[in-house]
Chain A
Amino acid sequence: DAGVIQSPRHEVTEMGQEVTLRCKPISGHNSLFWYRQTMMRGLELLIYFNNNVPIDDSGMPEDRFSAKMPNASFSTLKIQPSEPRDSAVYFCASTPDAPLRLYGYTFGSGTRLTVV
């Protein structure tokens, strides 16, 4: 089991550019979560999917952020246009489609985004 795979590990981009972060959940996991972590705000839940359908995107900061899950093995988080305040570590997590009490989340290693 390769775990949750995120790419790229590091991304440096200029303000105004489009950024796409990628996540491959663990095979068989039906729920997928995107988190953002900064020193000031800690870990924030941005959006989560169940069976490829967005269930709750109330944590998405603004219209510049969008997330998709075209199939069970792939999800993207896109920022367009990017701004320096988007600099953070972005984590993807997945869990089987079961009550939370049975399974914990498995997190990826994260993508460190720097917008200059």
Chain B
Amino acid sequence: AQRVTQPEKLLSVFKGAPVELKCNYSYSGSPELFWYVQYSRQRLQLLLRHISRESIKGFTADLNKGETSFHLKKPFAQEEDSAMYYCALGQGGSEKLVFGKGTKLTVNP
């Protein structure tokens, strides 16, 4: 079965500190992984996708198939990074897209 696990409900760091939001998945096929973000009073939106290998707003995420992980990282957190972050797993073909339970990141001044 397709499953996404985000073990941390809450994560709090200070401005300038590194941040890592964990995501693990279980899927028997070839996974497509995403990170979505929801800022306060805004719509949920795509942050980045593994296939693009891009850095968005200083965030990166590497797909580790051996560990079935897709952790989101940023070397120096900013206050404006405070938001709810969701890891998502897509299943091409069936077009199913499932999300983890989310991690609320708070960056303190």
Q: Do A and B bind each other?
A: no
